[in-house]
Amino acid sequence: MNSTKLNGAAARESVAVVGAGPGGLGLAMLLAGRGIPVTVYEAAGEVGGRTGAIVRDGYTFDKGPTFFLMPYVLDEIFAASGRRLSDYVELTRLDPMYRLEMGRENGPALRLDCTQDIAEMSRRISAIDAKDGANFAAFIADNRTKLRVFEPILRKPIRSLTDLLDPKLMAALPHLHPTKSVNSYLRGYFRNPFVQMAVSFQSKYLGMSPYNCPSLFSILPFIEYEYGIWHVKGGLNQLTRAMAKACTEMGVEIRCGEPVERITFTGRRADGVVVGGQRRAHAHVALNADASWAIKNLIPSELRRGLGSWSDKRLDGMNYSCSTYMLYLGVDRPVDLPHHTIYISRDYQGNLADISQRGVLSADPSLYVCNPARLDPGMAPAGHSALYVLVPVANLKDGKIDWRSQAADLRGRALARVSQLVGFDVTRHIRTEVEYSPEDWRSQNINFGATFNLAHGLNQMLHLRPQHELAGVENVWTVGGGTHPGSGLPVIFLSSQIAAARLAERMGAAANWPVRTLPSSTVEASPERSAVAV
């Protein structure tokens, strides 16, 4: 990419960003928009990180995220940089947002197509349970209030409990329900277990089970129904490509294929990075690599000892999200599935326990299928499909699964379930295939292969995650899913805003930028079919 070189005094006042994922690119855009020199170092050959692309034999697959929520948050970053997101990417709102296929012990799966139309969604839920359908609008209204009172917390740095004493933040506490999980909170609205599943599976966006995910995250399904789920033409990988383009337009230097080997320090103050055996001077270093991996591997252990520091023992002793087993399948025929389809195991609680407690593979695993070429034909050759298959599995922390011997069996079960969903034997039509196991994620410097980063229990939220300004050292920052507010693209973009505001202020630059630019009402929903099958 074209870039602006930094040297001398400019280099000493510049910021190094380690990792060209969405958090790092968002930070770079915001800082560059305030005139701060930024260099982004990316180990891979292209930008994106987990929000990158896999391109094979004419098929394009998103590597990681496929759900795009709250696009207005990314719009804010572009607006702060004097740009419009809509000038860089094409968005389409999905209806149905996704199809749920909820397994039953006896009989076919219960099918539910989920729509932003609240009245229609209430009717579809009523076909499952009339009382639950009547309560759906109240659930949406209550969580609209919940997000409104929690949003200031999601947009501010939380360095200690003292930061929560702000009256605006205190208003959120009555809505916290710290003793409740997402599932126990939902039982106050819905009695049918299938309806509860339909508004709690979103905990998996954080790599967690709804039975132990804090009740705060009931806002996740609300966000879907309030702001919609969007497809980015060409896949979500186009978001990071667009951000990289905007960065280079503003003079950010993006150096792909140049992994950072370590951060250099004078005393406890960061003063540069080592790349290719050579030190490069920078006044600040921001970590957008997997947070716990980066802290362990890029900061000398002797600087991470003592109160408030992040020792290897402390980091490895934390709770981590699940991992994922992935199949990226190029299929030589059209697939009649909605853009997003989620199959939920017949033994959902057992499947979740296998992932989060027992650390074994389930006989009937839940899985997710993305079928983007139905809406976006450019993602596969003409008449073909590019299927993305994700199976949530245990991370590698306990090491109970031997992926060399067990991956083939899981592949077979996953393909059998996908074949059942699409209505034909998909194995006979695969023309290209890429497989990822948790071992592959770990090989890409993701601690324990936990693809959704640190878990989001109450003991690992707010100031209890690695903070934007990392404790124990100076001029080292974190951005992305490993810090506050947490995992998922919208909150990763919020982490960029929080870190950029503090860092820009530290460097003497103005840090006020517009927020809450709502999505354009001119974007029409895609014409997909909607249905409920009981």
User: What is the DSSP annotation of 385-450?
Assistant: EEEEEEEEE--SSS----HHHHHHHHHHHHHHHHHHHHTS-GGGGEEEEEEE-HHHHHHTT-GGG-
What are 132-143's pLDDT values in tens digits? 999 999 999 999
pLDDT for residue 342: 97
Percent of the chain, pLDDT > 90?
78
Does the pLDDT value for residue 523 go beyond 50? Answer: no
What are 243-298's pLDDT values in tens digits? 999 999 999 999 999 999 999 999 999 999 999 999 999 999 999 999 999 999 99
User: CA–CA separation, 246 vs 104, rounded Å?
Assistant: 48
pTM for the whole structure: 0.92
Encode burial over 224-262: b for 16+ CB neighbours within 10 A, e otherwise.
Answer: bbbbbbbbbebbbbbbbbbbbbbbbebebbbbbebbbbe
Q: Return the residue matching tokens 């000493």.
A: 12
Structure tokens at 114: 């989920």
Longest pairwise C-alpha distance within the chain: 71
pLDDT for residue 532: 40
Q: What is the mean pLDDT of residues 467-472?
A: 90
CB atoms within 10 A of CB 5: 10
Q: What is the mean pLDDT of residues 331-358?
A: 96
pLDDT for residue 308: 65
Structure tokens at 5: 């070189």
DSSP state of 214: B
Residues in contact with 210: Cβ distance below 8 Å, sequence separation at least 6, in sequence order:
181, 182, 183, 186, 196, 200, 201, 203, 352
Q: Which of 46-60, 145-159, 211-225 has the highest mean pLDDT?
A: 46-60
Does the pLDDT value for residue 82 go beyond 50? Answer: yes
Helices (H) and strands (E) in the chain, counts: 16, 21
User: CA–CA separation, 53 vs 50, rounded Å?
Assistant: 8
- Mean pLDDT, the chain, whole residue set: 91
Structure tokens at 140: 């949406």
Q: What is the mean pLDDT of residues 122-131?
A: 98
67 within 8 A of 387, measured Cβ to Cβ? no
**CATH architecture designation of domain 8-52+234-318+454-506:** 3-Layer(bba) Sandwich (3.50)
Residue 206: band (very low, low, confident or very high) from pLDDT cuts 50, 70, 90: confident
Residue 11: band (very low, low, confident or very high) from pLDDT cuts 50, 70, 90: very low
Residue 533: band (very low, low, confident or very high) from pLDDT cuts 50, 70, 90: very low
Does the pLDDT value for residue 242 go beyond 90? Answer: yes
> Which residues in the chain are classed under CATH 3.50.50.60?
8-52+234-318+454-506
Question: Directed axis angle between helix 489-506 and helix 71-80, to 10°?
Answer: 30
Structure tokens at 280: 């490069």
Residues in contact with 120: Cβ distance below 8 Å, sequence separation at least 6, in sequence order:
530
What are 288-312's pLDDT values in tens digits? 999 999 999 999 999 987 656 799 9
Residue 475: band (very low, low, confident or very high) from pLDDT cuts 50, 70, 90: very high
Q: What is the mean pLDDT of residues 460-474?
A: 89
Residue 9: band (very low, low, confident or very high) from pLDDT cuts 50, 70, 90: very low
What are 158-205's pLDDT values in tens digits? 888 777 777 766 776 667 777 889 999 999 999 999 999 999 999 988
CB atoms within 10 A of CB 515: 16
Q: What is the mean pLDDT of residues 480-499?
A: 94
